[in-house]
Amino acid sequence: MTADVTNKDGGRLTPHPLRAAVLGEVHARPFTPVETPRRILHFAFDTAGETAKADRAALAEFCLRRGLDPLQPTAKHHRVTLGGVALRWEQHSEFTT
């Protein structure tokens, strides 16, 4: 992000060094339009540390065995469709949805 950040008095603020990365992350995962009627199941799991690696490996294997788009090594989110079911996976630093 290159836009200046100002306070209410018009003074220029120094953006945090991670501002662009955080905003980019938010915008990298747009909401998925949902047609109705629809059933949605949303799960969140604690996947910090080694559990995150196991979770990633399980999803990669799941996709591989079913011939789905592969999970990229550094991906933090992935979407696949199995028949009439859409799976949206997101891995954050402390949990996975």
Dist CA 56 CA 96 (whole Å):
9
In a structure prediction context, what are the per-residue pLDDT tens digits for the chain, which is 97 residues long?
456 677 777 778 788 888 888 777 766 666 778 889 989 999 999 988 889 999 999 999 999 999 999 999 889 889 999 988 999 999 988 889 9
Locate 66 and state its tokens: 């079913």
| Report field, pTM of the whole predicted structure over 0.75 | no
Are 82 and 76 contacting, i.e. CB atoms less than 8 angstroms apart? no
**What sign does the dihedral 64-68-73-77 (CA atoms) show?**
negative
Domain extent, residue 15, equals 5-96
Q: Which backbone phi and psi does 86 adopt, to 5 degrees?
A: -105, 135
